[in-house]
Amino acid sequence: MNCRVLYLVGQLGLGGLERQLFYLVRSMHRGGYKPVVAVWGNSPDDHYAHEFRALDVPVVALGSNSTRLAKLRALRSIVSSLRPEVVHSYSFYTNIAAWWAARSTAAIPIGAIQSNFIAERQNNGKLLGKLCARWPYAQIFNSFTAAQNAKRHATLFRPRRSYVVKNGVDLDKFSPRHHPERGYILALGSLLPVKRWDRLLRAVAYLTEKGLELQVLHAGSGPLRGELEAMTKSLHVEHVFRFLGNRHDIPTLLADAAFLVHTSEVEGLPNVVLEAMACGRAVVATDAGDVPYLIDDGKTGFVVPREDEAALISRITTLLTDRELCRRMGEAGRNRAEQAFGIERLRSETFAVYRAEGWRDR
């Protein structure tokens, strides 16, 4: 099989980087580039494995191998067999594997940093974190903030060449619909400590205590669900805050929402903010990662400091009580999404990185 581009990813569940990889592969001329996706960890039956196969893109599982060394050997065998021109790691912790598999071949290895550079290094341990931050020598960041952090806070263990390619959004799937008369507040994302949903819960408790009528829906799963559900009860907001779990109808949820609230402590470039903007919904978000680059504060939504819960409450109150402002911000957000975050831009900028590293796109 003639594979020109091999993608290596940790897993293919319902995550942001997995969605970006799917967008990238879907947007390319697959008959000409013959992409293949290799999955390092989880089962190949994860959500996006089916999506890739529907595009006639092969998905190869490495996770059935019992050890990292066995996976490395299997990946090396795939590279030797397929002879790709580019091996692109799409998960941080698979960067070193992509580099090693491409060694002594003609393939160009490319790495990825999809979130906060410092957090990625720390979360993957001292050895793996350093290795994946250094190799491959060329890595694509999805946020300016992460690229800047790499330059400021690392010397040896950082990429030699850094590129920034911002995430894209499907502007057809995430499209504006009529703004609801009232609508709920929507929260989207994993139930992980770094997402800091406790901030939103405290804000909701304060607002309900002050007599404001509101409803909050959260879509997403994670290990903190039980703890956060208990927190809703202790704050007496279980009647206005609902946990929906994983959902596959995010565009519909956004269409029925008044606006989105995002309270994360650490981010790269959050897909949920892009998707809300594409759907014509205002966003209140903390200033994590590239959120200040995405949201034009006061025009497409509000950006608040991460530790300023009073500001978070104030901005939520503003949008709850001024639905015309909410609508205007949503329209401005859609315009910005159309101008800056289309999928074709994601593909063209990614391929520009390949070419900058010596790839001959024929």
pLDDT, tens only, 147-201? 999 998 777 899 999 999 999 999 999 999 999 988 999 999 999 999 999 999 9
pLDDT (tens digit per residue) in 255-299: 999 999 999 999 999 999 999 999 999 999 999 999 999 999 999
Q: Say if residue 222's pLDDT is above 90.
A: yes
Amino acid at 216: V
Q: Is 216 helix (H, G, I), strand (E, B) or coil?
A: strand
- pLDDT-based confidence at residue 44 (cuts at 50, 70, 90): low
Output the pLDDT for position 34. Answer: 96
pLDDT (tens digit per residue) in 9-43: 999 988 899 999 999 999 999 999 999 999 998 66
Q: Is 342 helix (H, G, I), strand (E, B) or coil?
A: coil
What are the extents of the domains in the chain? 5-168+342-356, 184-340
* 197 Cβ contact partners less than 8 Å away, ≥ 6 residues apart: 187, 189, 191, 218, 224, 228, 263
What is the residue-averaged pLDDT of the chain?
A: 95
pLDDT (tens digit per residue) in 115-158: 888 888 988 999 999 999 999 999 999 999 999 999 987 778 99
* Measured CA angle at 272 (ends 113, 140), to 5 deg: 20
Give yes or no for a cis peptide into 270 (omega within 30° of 0).
Answer: no
What class has domain 184-340?
A: alpha beta
- Was domain 5-168+342-356 assigned CATH 3.40.50.2000? yes
Query: Exposed, middle or buried by CB within 10 Å (0-12, 13-18, 19+), for 148?
Result: middle
How confident is the model over 206-211, as a mean pLDDT?
A: 97
